[in-house]
């Protein structure tokens, strides 16, 4: 049995996929305060990454760590939305899934803080 929603190919598929992605980013920005905060952190920190980073590798790591936080936040929000779609009832498995997704965001944030902390340390203490 084939999925009727998987019929697009080539450039048509790419155009529609880009539209779905933009809808997802818009939904996350308008509906998720954590995502909005992280987007503004990325916007404000981007010039600092170019100032702080010594070469393209460090700049890439600084900006990449911020983008990773956004990516994980999007996945976390998707998991939460899917669970809430099924039921708002409190269930051990629903709690576990949401807690695991939240833990992933925490780890991404800790990685980001570590990368930025190391760059700041190198810039000012070394």
| 15 in a labelled binding site | no
75 appears as a binding residue in the annotation: no
Question: What is the rounded average pLDDT of the residues 53-81?
Answer: 97
Is 16 annotated as contributing to ligand binding? Answer: no
- Region 57-64 average pLDDT: 98
List the catalytic residue out of 73, 74, 101, 115.
73
Mean pLDDT for all residues in the chain: 95
1: confidence class by pLDDT, cuts 50, 70, 90: low
Could you give the CA distance from residue 26 to residue 32 in angstroms, rounded to a whole number? 10
Q: Does domain 33-124 have CATH number 1.10.357.10?
A: no
What is the C-alpha separation between 92 and 82, in angstroms, rounded?
15
73 annotated active-site: yes
pTM score of the predicted model: 0.89
Cα 94–Cα 35–Cα 55 angle in degrees, nearest 5? 125
Q: For the chain, which residues make up each domain, given as ranges?
A: 1-31, 33-124
Whether residue 13 is annotated as binding a ligand: the answer is yes
Nearest to 72 by CA among 108, 123, 126, 32: 108
How does DSSP assign 7-54, residue by residue?
---HHHHHHHHHHHHHHHHHHHHHH-HHHHHHHHHHHHHHHHHHHH-S
């Amino acid at each position: 049995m084939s999925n009727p929603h998987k019929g697009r190919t080539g450039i048509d598929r790419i155009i529609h996929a880009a539209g779905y992605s933009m809808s997802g980013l818009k939904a996350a920005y308008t509906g998720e305060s954590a995502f909005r905060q992280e987007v503004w952190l990325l916007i404000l920190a981007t010039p600092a990454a170019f100032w702080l980073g010594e070469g393209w590798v460090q700049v890439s790591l600084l900006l990449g760590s911020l983008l990773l936080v956004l990516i994980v936040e999007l996945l976390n929000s998707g998991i939460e939305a899917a669970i809430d779609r099924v039921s708002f009832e409190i269930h051990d498995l629903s709690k576990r899934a949401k807690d695991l997704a939240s833990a992933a965001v925490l780890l991404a944030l800790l990685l980001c803080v570590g990368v930025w902390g190391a760059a700041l340390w190198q810039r000012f203490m070394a």
